[in-house]
Amino acid sequence: MRYTEKLSARIAAVRSHLCVGLDPRPDLLREPMKDFLLRVIAESSPHAACFKPNVAYFEAMGSKGIELLEEVFAAIPREIPVLLDAKRSDIGETQKYYAKAFFETWNVDAVTLNPFLGYDSVEPFLGYEGRGLYLLAVTSNPGAADIEKQRLENGRRVFELVGDMARRAEGSAADVGFVVGLTNADPDILPALPDAPLLVPGLGAQGGDINSLRGSGRKAPVLVNVSRGVLFPPEGESTADAAARWQATVESALAD
């Protein structure tokens, strides 16, 4: 089964495009980290199309954090895709080891990659059947304007070159999509990218406007990520209720 097939099946099963980001912040926790993460997974699973652990939050805890990340992987129900937010980028030989770590050692379904070292930095991931890659195209931070949205002499923008990489990868064993942040999703950005899977961060704490996805007409599966809004809901709202609320928000926008 290809990655997009597994993801599409999950989206259809729970009628949700919500990606729950697992970004644990010790300074905000009132319970042990492991208990917190396992509870979030259990309570939000009925509403989640995908879980997206951000490796940085776990790496910051050293070897104990990596052990915890592996426990998180084990706790996520097998029918729910796991997208590791790693944003790795390096020369090809090193990327082979990143690919091995993510797809063989940790057996995640998909990973985010920084493509700006060029196509050969993406190639080591393309041979893994049933896996997905999300290339950074237009990210949700203000710095997206520094490089990603800059215009070239021929009038094209830098992020469109990332779209060319996905076209070049057509026919590969892995499926290639894009990261497009809501906070920078101008109306002319999605039409300039191939109809490929999207990971859309920026909703919730970052203040992105979900309405920018309305009427996009894209057929490839879309994941809209919410991290803090699910992990740290307002006082009096449970994790399950927060996940259900964000699910409803996302589905309302994508239904148009």
Supply the range of the domain harboring residue 126: 3-254
- Go through 76-105 and write b for each residue having 16 or more CB atoms within 10 A of its CB, e for each that does not: beeebbbbbbbbbbeeeeebeebbebbbee
Other beta carbons less than 10 A from residue 242's beta carbon: 24
Residue 67 to residues 9, 35, 52, 76, 175, Cα–Cα distance (Å): 30, 14, 17, 15, 28
Q: Report the candidate in 230, 227, 225, 233 with the shortest Cα–Cα distance to residue 250.
A: 225
Q: How many domains does one find in the chain? A: 1
Q: Which amino acid is at 201?
A: P
Residue 109 to residues 20, 189, 237, Cα–Cα distance (Å): 15, 26, 31
Sign of the torsion formed by the C-alpha atoms of 238, 240, 242 and 244: negative
3-class secondary structure, 122: coil
| Identified catalytic residue from 87, 96, 100, 149 | 87
87: annotated active-site residue: yes
For residues 238 and 21, give the distance between their C-alpha atoms in angstroms, rounded to a whole number: 16
What's the gap between Cα 167 and its chain centre? 20
DSSP 8-state secondary structure symbol assigned to residue 190: G
Read off the pTM. 0.95
Going residue by residue through the chain, which has 256 residues, state the pLDDT in tens, using 9 for 90 and above. Answer: 999 999 999 999 999 999 999 999 999 998 999 999 999 999 999 999 999 999 999 999 999 999 999 999 999 999 999 999 999 999 989 999 999 999 999 999 999 999 999 999 999 999 999 999 999 999 989 999 999 999 999 999 999 999 999 999 999 999 999 999 988 888 899 999 999 999 999 886 666 778 777 767 789 999 999 999 999 999 999 999 999 999 999 998 888 6
Q: Read off the CATH number of the domain in which 181 is found.
A: 3.20.20.70
Question: Contact 129/151 with Cβ under 8 angstroms?
Answer: no
Residue 143 to residues 49, 131, 149, 195, 235, Cα–Cα distance (Å): 29, 29, 9, 25, 32
User: CA-based angle 236:250:184, to the nearest 5?
Assistant: 105
Question: In sequence order, which residues have a C-beta less than 8 Å from that of residue 204 and are 6 or more positions away?
Answer: 226, 227, 228, 229, 246
Q: Which helix (H) or strand (E) holds 21?
A: strand 18-22
